[in-house]
């Protein structure tokens, strides 16, 4: 079967069995999504590129420990998130960056989860205006990044996994090794914080 037609999980199994090209296909397949995630998470393309490389080195080193009954993508993004945390800790020792500053928004709103028909992802999509609002795409992209950058790292991380990578609550809980309830409350706080910062940035752009 051609590499492009095989599942991520089958490709990793093939790599474990000695097929070196299977890892190259995984790198190609996830390059764009993983780089977007890391750039948004870290706010620096050079650091993101370093972490991208470290992530796939770790995939190589840990391939034998991968549980083939589970999905590859959450495992990959867990490795990337952990590598990003390590890199940010190193950077924090060289730069004065407070990654744990509290944000506004608190814990307001329902924490009931999936059952009410609306998710925090729906709220996020409502809070982010579409391009028809008159903001150029590049400027909008910069504003989204600035709003994300103002979140403390745990909230930034969970927002990116949920909204940009579309991982489920349970996948995020497994990836970050936190309870499902913590995923929901953090995501609620992340969306509230993002909305607050986005609205402030959007107001400033309109007033200019």
Q: How far apart are CA 95 and CA 43, in angstroms?
A: 14
Answer whether residue 27 shows pLDDT above 90.
Answer: yes
The CATH number corresponding to 3-94 among 1.10.1740.10, 3.40.630.30, 2.30.29.30, 2.60.120.10 equals 1.10.1740.10
- Top CATH class, 114-207: mainly alpha
Domain ranges, ordered by start, for the chain: 3-94, 114-207
Q: Of 74-78, 118-122, 169-173, which range is least confident?
A: 118-122
Check residue 91 and give its pLDDT.
Answer: 66
Q: How far apart are CA 15 and CA 150, in angstroms?
A: 39
Check residue 1 and give its pLDDT.
Answer: 57
Question: Could you tell me if 157 and 83 are in contact, meaning their C-beta atoms sit under 8 angstroms apart?
Answer: no
Give tens-digit pLDDT for 56-94: 999 999 999 998 888 999 999 999 998 998 887 776 554
Give tens-digit pLDDT for 7-22: 999 999 999 998 888 9
R_g (Cα) of the chain, nearest Å: 18
Alpha-helix runs per DSSP H in 8-167: 8-16, 20-42, 45-62, 72-94, 120-127, 137-149, 153-159
Q: How far apart are CA 79 and CA 185, in angstroms?
A: 23
Fold match, 3-94 / 114-207: no
Under 8 Å CB-to-CB from 61, ≥6 apart: which residues? none
Check residue 14 and give its pLDDT.
Answer: 93
Read off the pLDDT band of 208 (50, 70, 90): low
What's this model's pTM, rounded to 2 decimal places? 0.65
């Amino acid at each position: 079967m051609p590499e492009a037609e095989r599942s991520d999980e089958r490709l990793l199994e093939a790599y474990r069995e000695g097929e070196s090209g299977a890892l190259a296909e995984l790198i190609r397949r996830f390059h764009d999504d993983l780089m977007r995630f890391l750039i948004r998470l870290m706010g620096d393309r050079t650091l993101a590129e370093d972490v991208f490389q470290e992530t796939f080195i770790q995939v190589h080193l840990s391939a034998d420990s991968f549980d083939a009954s589970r999905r590859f993508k959450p495992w990959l993004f867990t490795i990337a998130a952990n590598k990003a945390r390590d890199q940010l800790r190193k950077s924090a020792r060289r730069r004065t960056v407070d990654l744990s500053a509290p944000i506004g928004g608190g814990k307001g709103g329902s924490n009931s989860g999936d059952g009410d028909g609306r998710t925090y992802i729906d709220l996020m999509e409502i809070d982010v205006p579409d391009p028809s609002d008159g903001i150029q795409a590049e400027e909008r992209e910069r504003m989204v990044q600035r709003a994300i950058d103002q979140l403390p790292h745990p909230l930034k991380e969970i927002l990116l996994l949920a909204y940009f990578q579309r991982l489920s609550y349970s996948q995020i809980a497994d990836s970050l090794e936190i309870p499902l309830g913590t995923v929901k409350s953090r995501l609620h706080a992340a969306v509230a914080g993002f909305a607050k910062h986005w609205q402030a940035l959007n107001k400033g752009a309109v007033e200019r």
